[in-house]
Amino acid sequence: MLSSSDLRTLPTSKELISSDDAPVDNEDQNFIPNYLLFLLEYLWKQRQDWYFAVDMAVYHTTGANPRVPVVPDAFLSLGVPRQKDGKSRNSYVLWEEENIAPALALEIVSQTPGGEYDSKREIYCRLGVLYYVVYNARFWQRDRHLPFEVFKLIDGDYQLQVGEPFWMPEIGLGLGRCALPDDPLERETLSWFDDGGDRLLSEAETEHQRWDSERQRSEHLTQRLRELGEEI
């Protein structure tokens, strides 16, 4: 725990950069985290105690320099406000967030390895990130790993978990791979799932499902009236 004197020597969020400005080398690094974010904004629209960020710097005091952040492709924190002091965050500064570490960090492996299996993993472990997810759809054979891996922090170290979609009870969500049915590009992505293993639907999908159910009910009623000899 940082003392008040330690806090006075640390930089504020206004002084720190928001990301490392490293360019992505495939569109998955943009598409997948943002899909998870937009879906969560619908699923948890009534909640104000969470924060999900894409490509945002996380500043901490577990390294050699508190001005050097770790930048996940995405992360989810619980028990923090959706906005900081009524404003959007520029970065996630642990000493300004009551030292609440992300509950989940996501890394998407690119053509150029970025320490997903070693240096970043060690940082997230020190920070106390409960779940660390590595998505490696393209280069998993090169890296000798599985395409989708979930690690859970147990007794101070990460242990590979089994099952997909993988249910995370502490978060109240599952995470796994899927293909979105209405995506014309037929891309594989990650999505949130419920505890029964069913994919959680977006607002548009929910509305479409409701409309389709009403249409089927109407067609069934029409067919039934015809069988009874009623004019329609």
H or E, element range at 178: strand 173-179
Report the share of the chain in percent with pLDDT over 90. Answer: 70
- The more confidently predicted of residues 3 and 38 is 38
Mean pLDDT of the chain: 90
How much is the pLDDT for 231? 63
- Kindly state the percentage of the chain with pLDDT values over 70: 86
Q: CB of 104 within 8 A of CB of 130?
A: yes
Distances (CA, A) of 29 to 32, 56, 180, 214: 6, 13, 17, 37
- What is the reported pLDDT for 113? 87
Cβ atoms of residues 152 and 161 within 8 Å: yes
Decide if pLDDT at 127 tops 60.
yes
Q: What is the pTM of this model?
A: 0.86
Contact 133, 105 (CB under 8 A): yes
Does residue 130 sit in helix, strand or coil? coil
| Predicted confidence (pLDDT) per residue in 176-201, tens digit | 999 988 888 888 999 999 999 999 99
Which of 132, 96, 93 is CA-nearest to residue 115? 132
Reported as a single tens digit per residue, the pLDDT across 51-103 is: 999 999 999 999 999 999 999 999 999 999 999 989 999 999 999 999 999 99
CATH architecture of the domain with range 4-200? Alpha-Beta Complex (3.90)
Burial class, 161, CB count within 10 angstroms (exposed 0-12 / middle 13-18 / buried 19+) = middle
